[in-house]
Structure 1
Amino acid sequence: MRCGIFSKGVLFLSWLSIGQVVGAYELVCPESVQIKPATPELKVVPQDWEVSAHKDILLRLDSAGIYSGKPVNLVQLKPEPLTIKGKKHNEAWDINRGSDLKNVGYWLNCSYNRNQVQLTRRIDSAMKVCWTVYSKDSQGGIRAKLECQ
């Protein structure tokens, strides 16, 4: 009998700790990305002209959003204001999964220089609702964090 009570207690504590991890799920967009210098390839370079190489460029984060499936498929979800646990979030997404979305999933898209570069990451399929938290970095740039539960 004591062993049964002990194992139920351990099971309950394990379940409790898993619930805390799921509630604290977050993804943070990198604040900037650096792209390598490149020389554009032209089909034809006009006579007496040279193609100029670009310098390394630092691109700053400008937005974050959620897509249904990989962002390359261009199915961006529109955020909406939602109240979650008594707190209002202006940019939130209800991502309760339908059976048709299990395979494609939901993806966070971090956009740099108006989609010149995009970093994407799949959102854990156990999440039901997500919202963005924006702040400023020390240089006035945008920081974006996606929190989910």
Structure 2
Amino acid sequence: MKFNIKTLSKDLLLSILLGIGQFANAYELVCPESVTVKAAKPELKVTPQHWEVSEHKDMLLTLDGVGVYGGNPVDLAQLKPEPTVVKGKKHYPAWEVDSKLDLDGVGFWLSCSYNHNQVQLTRRIDSTMKVCWTVYSKDSQGGLLAKLKCQ
């Protein structure tokens, strides 16, 4: 049996590229289920006369939602979710995150919200993605779980 090294190399390269393409389509970000806020004494600009500021206890905050932003969420440019069809399956909430839409070069960001935005964990979405959608589920105690899947 005779092997043609050029054909073998092309076949190997094609297999590698197909494998990379499949890996690139399996992008997802998972929000942590909860966060613990360390106890602190809030600082007021001005404490009213005859009053003291009370300390808080450590608080466990659970996940209550996900949002996608055009730019860092601190800039408050939250994108409106739209129903989207990916590979014949309808997803909602979903967002278009194609880098062609990112005219300012600030990227698209995921925000995981805890206790109605009291705390947000944010993370930039890979710039090679085109569309993302959220998959929600519940843990064994009924707490919210969320992951952002993208292609």
Shift of 1:5: 1.1
Tell me the alpha carbon deviations over residues 76-113 of structure 1, each in whole angstroms, 9 at most, x when there is no partner. Answer: 11001111111111211122222643721111110111
Q: Which residue of 2 aligns with 1:64?
A: 66
Shift of 1:52: 2.0
Q: Which residue of 1 aligns with 2:18?
A: 16
TM-score of the pair, normalised by structure 2: 0.91
Tell me the alpha carbon deviations over residues 28-58 of structure 1, each in whole angstroms, 9 at most, x when there is no partner. Answer: 00010001001122333533x5432111000
Long gaps (5+) in structure 1: none
Q: Which of 27, 46, 54 is matched with 2:29 structurally?
A: 27
Residues 98, 127 of structure 2: 8 Å contact kept: no
Long gaps (5+) in structure 2: none
TM-score of the pair, normalised by structure 1: 0.92
Structure 1 stretches of at least 4 aligned residues deviating more than 4 Å after TM superposition: none
Structure 1: how far apart are the matches of 2:55 and 2:101? 48
Structure 2: how far apart are the matches of 1:100 and 1:124? 12
Residues 45, 51 of structure 1: 8 Å contact kept: no
Within the alignment, does 1:116 sit opposite 2:121 as a pair? no
Within the alignment, does 1:41 sit opposite 2:81 as a pair? no
